Chains A and B, each alone.
Chain A
């Protein structure tokens, strides 16, 4: 199945690992959970399930993952907040797949999200022919979650207008959803195992502040960018390899180039180079996900148009496209970064850094 889709759901992609964990799981499970909290932790942070090695899938703050798991076992929802590209969605998918076996029960928040999309809507043909009945009801992911006792994921919740967000309040408070059109049969009580995982960006444009009442019903976890540049390099390499494999691109990943990119993204995000020089932070999002995307584009270019080896000129051009999107000042910041940090590293280390510094002329 994995081979036939661009991005199979987590529960499909890691089906063997989930099965192994389930078979070897001796821990206590909250009602309707597929795995115990300890096995969920192992699934996300790595470990062993019987003889099978479970690789780590989320890098960064282990305690945050533990808090997320425990929060989901309790009565409050979990809200993952943070800058774009910090793997909030991936963490929410991993948690859903591990706890409930399903990660696709999702509402995507947009400016156009309505209350119907959050609660329920109707199949109007059936509604006209049969009147308001259960058959004519189109359940939302929230309603499905309540009825099946699984998580409902609400992506980008703060893109949804505040009054629409607030329709979650009653469900989260009372664990009940009333469908008045169905009369006595319209009271849906949430089954054990139901919870909500929300994700929200803190930086993008078009974000609506959540109401205090809704905030009180969630425990918040802030997902930070990766602090360790070596780890960031590993992630870039691994993710790019996965993407290349999925795209049938069969060329070796150049680790030196991945390091250039990891260091560049890390230093621009932190506003400080490894040598201690202060550099201006671009307004653009400098996330690891963006770095992976730039790297993958570079690999693809070299695969289809080049000799299969990553071309630093292409890398710099892709970097330019990724950084200088919205704010014209970002170009000057990128140029200044090349003038200071990249040139300094080129003098000290030579090799790939030297070749990288020579591509600075493309920044225009």
Chain B
């Protein structure tokens, strides 16, 4: 190893405890240091088991999963797999927040821990996990440290300490490595294959002891490392005391800590808490290579696990360790070339040859005995990327990365440990007779209101969709969130069970043990996290679709959102959603009186804020008009008691000094709808716009748009408004007319085709024409039209100083 690790500092740092780090096949204890998911560690560990012949194998891992160990070596189990741990801190032992926690302990073919278990099973040697139970690790970890860091998902096998150590930074400077992965691959993965287990162990201890030496003890205490080591040391001591020959497999950074504790022999057992069975647990689950990849997954373990699992498979098959990386790299290169060609990226045999030549040349230049992933990356960069390296030209690199990551998903063979949510999912699929086991996309046409199980099935699909499991997708059906297709009485769902569905369900275990419970918890979380009325109302729609009645806690959160939200538009959206829920509650057999209460609250807030909306910015005017319309509509029915207040608010808006013309038009339309005598006021307002400057006249078009949107019949009642509209339009020059044209088009879009025809007839009469003349023009000769068009373009070109006659 180029003398890198020949340093007497090791003995100095480790002191007398260093004796316990020695590799002695005849001793009673072997502390074998590993890096998670490292093929060379797995390879050397298997050889060490052979040489050391332990009577028990103790492995770093939360011990509350000991009974799951046989599941991992079950014949039907396929890796990647993981043990999923969860803990619900209802006793508030971790923090006052009483949160839920979860983490994964992934196992790949190249995981030394898996190889220890498998080798033990093969040789009849018992294997056990010896770390603190998951909940105890959390209890012993300070906030924002270790497994309590803020992250979506956690992995138990986090070895980021190895990567970010000061020692490694110094090594990188010395060796000129680009990254920890490159350093690790060169000095451990490739060169480590040439060593004996003893030499390898020595090198690992050297690296890990120096790395550990840089760690701050306070930090190690804070992230639970020291508590965990005390517990692991206790378990090791128990095994030694009972006369066992013990092989201990832990992350390399723990070795020195364990050796010191065992050498001193004095350590207090950690206090273990009594946690009810329903608040903590673990079960095996299928896992994916992508999740196991340090790049995409949970920031732990090695990158490109698929590639390294391939190395382990080759070594197990008996391939020559001195050439195994060369073969695997060449295969990866060829697969990258093939996949690139499939994506229309031309890669020739000459390119592959050139890349291979670069790879071997670089390996020689870098003093590494075989090509590794770093060299494949360089070979692909050099020979496959043609032209400047950018996002699009780097596709071959992305393809290589994807292949090296691996695409497989594992499988759990022993079905006696089915996670609760998956069990509930399967039970419900059975009850609805869904073909969920065949793995191909299926369709289900659900009759919503035809009695039977239709509504219940729809709710099941909506629940699965809400949990983002990817199991089903609504192809057709009513959309209550946006008020679309409400007349549909059927829903068409497509569904398919994939390993990702199981993974998503397992990930929701802390939310509940049934799908209904998980949905309720997820909805509560959304209500607690997003305190806007609109978000609350949409969550209420989701619950409505899922058939989940809001509980006391959820109602309190919703009430809080409605009461405290000062955003007019959010409250308006809330009113719209609650109105829909109120309308449909009987049809969907969902009796919940709370929506009416929220409608009243929303209406009260909106009416009090309405006067301030008179001069709303133009880009928000349409949204204000839309809310005005829904308010007017509801005060004509179930919220009739608010009609007078609404009228007062509208009058205040109409009297405001500065008014946005579209909103003003809509307000005048509504006031006219409430009392027809106000027609004159609307006309006067329009005349006001007509008598203004050119800019003010242009606003008249927006006024008309607002007016027609709320009171279209004002035009049809008599022709005075048409006269006003005519005056507006005829008063504009071409340029100004073109400017207001979009508004006018929108204004007339509120009328039905027959109404437009009627209006067109009256408008034609104003200019001495007949309806027929407008609708049926004389046919224009095609040749004449073409000539006119050419003439027009020539004149335009000449005016612009272009083509000359």
A residues lining the B interface (CB < 8 Å): 37-38, 41, 45, 62-63, 66-67, 69-71, 73-76, 81-82, 202, 210, 212, 215-216, 219-222
| B383 contacts across to A, CB distance below 8 A | 76, 219
Contacting pair A76 B354 (CB below 8 A): yes
In the complex, what distance in Å separates the CA atom of A363 from the CA atom of B374?
A: 47
In the complex, what distance in Å separates the CA atom of A215 from the CA atom of B388?
A: 11
- Check: B468 CB closer than 8 A to any chain A CB: no
Contacting pair B178 A63 (CB below 8 A): yes
In the complex, what distance in Å separates the CA atom of A81 from the CA atom of B389?
A: 9
In the complex, what distance in Å separates the CA atom of A38 from the CA atom of B386?
A: 26
Contacting pair B387 A220 (CB below 8 A): yes
Interface centre among A75, A202, A219 (most CB of B within 10 A): A219
Given contacts A215-B387, A221-B382, contact A70 B362 (CB under 8 A): yes
Contacting pair B348 A219 (CB below 8 A): no
Quote the shortest CB–CB distance from B367 to chain A (angstroms).
8
In the complex, what distance in Å separates the CA atom of A37 from the CA atom of B388?
A: 25
Contacting pair A67 B176 (CB below 8 A): no
Given contacts A45-B176, A70-B362, A74-B358, contact A219 B387 (CB under 8 A): no
Contacting pair A222 B388 (CB below 8 A): yes
Say which residue of A37, A67, A81 sits within 8 Å of B382 (CB atoms): A67
Contacting pair A216 B358 (CB below 8 A): no
Contacting pair B354 A37 (CB below 8 A): no
Additional pairs, 19, CB under 8 Å, beyond known A66-B362, A220-B389: A62-B178, A63-B378, A66-B378, A70-B382, A74-B354, A74-B361, A75-B354, A75-B357, A82-B388, A212-B386, A216-B350, A216-B351, A216-B386, A220-B387, A220-B388, A221-B381, A221-B382, A222-B385, A222-B388
| A216 contacts across to B, CB distance below 8 A | 348, 350-351, 386
Contacting pair B354 A70 (CB below 8 A): no
Number of B residues near A (Cβ < 8 Å) is 25
Contacting pair B361 A37 (CB below 8 A): yes
In the complex, what distance in Å separates the CA atom of A219 from the CA atom of B379?
A: 10
| A219 contacts across to B, CB distance below 8 A | 354, 358, 382-383
In the complex, what distance in Å separates the CA atom of A71 from the CA atom of B386?
A: 14
Contacting pair B348 A71 (CB below 8 A): no
Say which residue of B358, B386, B387, B390 sits within 8 Å of A67 (CB atoms): B358
Q: How many A-B residue pairs have CB under 8 A?
A: 69
Contacting pair A220 B386 (CB below 8 A): yes
Contacting pair A73 B386 (CB below 8 A): no
Contacting pair B389 A41 (CB below 8 A): no
30 CB < 8 A contacts A-B: A37-B365, A41-B365, A45-B176, A62-B178, A63-B374, A63-B378, A66-B365, A66-B366, A67-B358, A67-B381, A67-B382, A70-B358, A70-B382, A71-B358, A71-B382, A73-B361, A74-B357, A74-B361, A75-B357, A81-B387, A82-B388, A210-B387, A212-B346, A219-B382, A220-B385, A220-B386, A220-B389, A221-B381, A221-B382, A222-B389
In the complex, what distance in Å separates the CA atom of A47 from the CA atom of B374?
A: 22
| B350 contacts across to A, CB distance below 8 A | 216
Closest to A47 in B: B176
Can you list, as one digit per residue, whether each of B344-358 has a CB less than 8 Å from chain A (1) or not (0)?
001010110010011
Quote the shortest CB–CB distance from B179 to chain A (angstroms).
10
| B358 contacts across to A, CB distance below 8 A | 67, 70-71, 74, 219
| A62 contacts across to B, CB distance below 8 A | 176, 178
Contacting pair B357 A67 (CB below 8 A): no
In the complex, what distance in Å separates the CA atom of A99 from the CA atom of B551?
A: 78
Closest to B346 in A: A212
In the complex, what distance in Å separates the CA atom of A216 from the CA atom of B364?
A: 25
Contacting pair A38 B176 (CB below 8 A): no
Contacting pair B354 A215 (CB below 8 A): no
Quote the shortest CB–CB distance from A72 to chain B (angstroms).
10
Given contacts A74-B354, A216-B386, A219-B383, contact A67 B362 (CB under 8 A): yes
In the complex, what distance in Å separates the CA atom of A82 from the CA atom of B346?
A: 22
Quote the shortest CB–CB distance from A99 to chain B (angstroms).
13
Interface centre among A76, A82, A210 (most CB of B within 10 A): A76
| A81 contacts across to B, CB distance below 8 A | 387-388
In the complex, what distance in Å separates the CA atom of A71 from the CA atom of B378?
A: 11
In the complex, what distance in Å separates the CA atom of A76 from the CA atom of B361?
A: 13
Given contacts A45-B176, A62-B176, A74-B357, contact A215 B362 (CB under 8 A): no
Closest to B178 in A: A63
Closest to A28 in B: B364
In the complex, what distance in Å separates the CA atom of A82 from the CA atom of B389?
A: 9
| A76 contacts across to B, CB distance below 8 A | 354, 383
Closest to A45 in B: B176
Q: Which of B328-356 contact A (CB under 8 A)?
A: 346, 348, 350-351, 354
In the complex, what distance in Å separates the CA atom of A69 from the CA atom of B389?
A: 18
Q: 8 closest pairs, A vs B, by CB?
A: A70-B361, A222-B389, A219-B382, A202-B388, A215-B386, A67-B382, A74-B357, A81-B388
| B346 contacts across to A, CB distance below 8 A | 212
In the complex, what distance in Å separates the CA atom of A216 from the CA atom of B351?
A: 8
In the complex, what distance in Å separates the CA atom of A69 from the CA atom of B351?
A: 17
In the complex, what distance in Å separates the CA atom of A37 from the CA atom of B385?
A: 23
In the complex, what distance in Å separates the CA atom of A144 from the CA atom of B713?
A: 91
Quote the shortest CB–CB distance from B604 to chain A (angstroms).
42
Contacting pair A70 B365 (CB below 8 A): yes
Closest to B386 in A: A215
Quote the shortest CB–CB distance from A63 to chain B (angstroms).
6
Q: Which of B161-182 contact A (CB under 8 A)?
A: 176, 178
Quote the shortest CB–CB distance from B281 to chain A (angstroms).
43
Interface centre among B176, B351, B366, B390 (most CB of A within 10 A): B176
Q: Which of B79-121 contact A (CB under 8 A)?
A: none
Interface centre among A70, A75, A220 (most CB of B within 10 A): A70
| B178 contacts across to A, CB distance below 8 A | 62-63
Interface centre among B361, B378, B381, B382 (most CB of A within 10 A): B382
| A63 contacts across to B, CB distance below 8 A | 178, 374, 378
Quote the shortest CB–CB distance from B493 to chain A (angstroms).
44
Closest to A40 in B: B365
Closest to A37 in B: B365
Quote the shortest CB–CB distance from A116 to chain B (angstroms).
28
Quote the shortest CB–CB distance from A196 to chain B (angstroms).
14
| B351 contacts across to A, CB distance below 8 A | 216
In the complex, what distance in Å separates the CA atom of A66 from the CA atom of B177?
A: 12
